[in-house]
Chain A
């Protein structure tokens, strides 16, 4: 093995590869935005990136710090009002993939970005739902990316801000006009997919150098592994180069503002 890379880079590259060229993707800020733009700058030049600030088909040269940075608007095909974004473009069914991050995720891929603890007396108050509750149900499918840890990967989330498959795995059953929901979760250790029947997240691919024990240790439930457990392909030199350039450009730009 000649290439050196970090687990974060492995996560971003794997998340980026999940996006097919030509996909219309509603992008969350942070890790999803990094992955989506890496996809656009590598194998998916025609991916359409949409941010909830109303920027349609945007091609930022640097990663935005906020969801409404000027860069997103200046490099967009057009910018629409926020009600139009959510009503016509998302709810109207024009989005193939919603790409989300989260603070907490459970075994049925429900997301919590509201709080840790009890709602009336929170231990930690988190930012809240933002666009996620409707992105997760109105987009064709959902990709989720976050770092693997026991604090983040819990058996049951403290609060379901955003539906994965519900607390019993059946939250999407018989609901009309709803997307497929989470189809993959990309972390710095592995890739998980929901079991086709139970909808419980199952590890389908381990990143190079990561063991089953590593994943079990960082997961708050008795995580299962697919019978055909795969090894995630390593990042290429080109992907790493483009990712590093993107991050360096971004840091320079943000430091100078």
Chain B
């Protein structure tokens, strides 16, 4: 059964220095409140996995939490670069980070394989791409039945996955609606999981085929109202496209970024 914890306590208990952490949410339901809590608790040497690092990992990288980032598309969607990611990769600020990059298809398959308890994912991928020459975790195997050459990548098995969702019921069962990304896969693939939710309700009112993650498959549920902003929560609030555009200027400069972090993360009250 999932335990109801404050966001502070959930992060303190399950995110250890040096851990492999996946904070998922494909543009939608990005767990920003949890990311900020990780920054406030000054977690270090994390291996951060996310298909789209997005602003959330830009912030964690700039705050010095990351040792390594595993990703498949590292931009600010529709805006441009993730400047903190680039500064770390290109100039080593605040310190050098390792990167390991995949394609979306490979990462999605790797999360699914992790959830399925398999050591690897197989896909018809990376044909003609030079990504395998810079990522030694991409291999090719021969199909034992047809002989076709297929790509193989190791499954994603995080120490802890963190996702955001609309709501949980009082037993800690969670409903995820809208663009569901790889959130369910991330939770099921991980040793531990934290799900932040907009609210706790008596009844999830879920359709029979809705994306529901059972309480007993989750380690901790924490309430984080507006916990996905500036990304969005389908049915609750929209994406702040304006903030995504503003982030470009904030993140471009180390001092502006540091001040933003001080004002908006370190000095912000935890809302859980």
Contacts and interface: CB of A to CB of B under 8 A. Distances in A.
A82 B131 CA distance: 21
Contact of A79 (B75, B109, B178, B245): B178
Interface in B26-56: 26-28, 51-52
Interface string B70-85: 0111110111011001
A156 B144 CA distance: 36
B88 to A, nearest CB: 10
Nearest to A255: B242
B192 interface: no
A36 B269 CA distance: 44
A-side interface mostly: loop
A179 B147 CA distance: 19
A129 B184 contact: no
Nearest to A164: B128
Nearest to B150: A177
Given A82-B181, A83-B109, A131 B27 contact: no
B124 interface: yes
Contacts of A102: none
A66 interface: yes
Interface string A79-106: 1111101110011000000000000000
A257 B242 contact: yes
Interface residues of B, number: 57
B128 A125 contact: no
Contacts of A65: 77-79, 239, 241, 244
A83 B103 CA distance: 12
A66 B244 contact: yes
A128 B74 contact: yes
B266 to A, nearest CB: 26
23 contacts: A52-B104, A53-B26, A65-B241, A66-B27, A67-B27, A69-B239, A79-B179, A81-B181, A87-B123, A91-B124, A114-B101, A114-B131, A125-B81, A125-B89, A128-B73, A129-B102, A133-B127, A133-B129, A159-B130, A166-B128, A177-B124, A254-B241, A257-B240
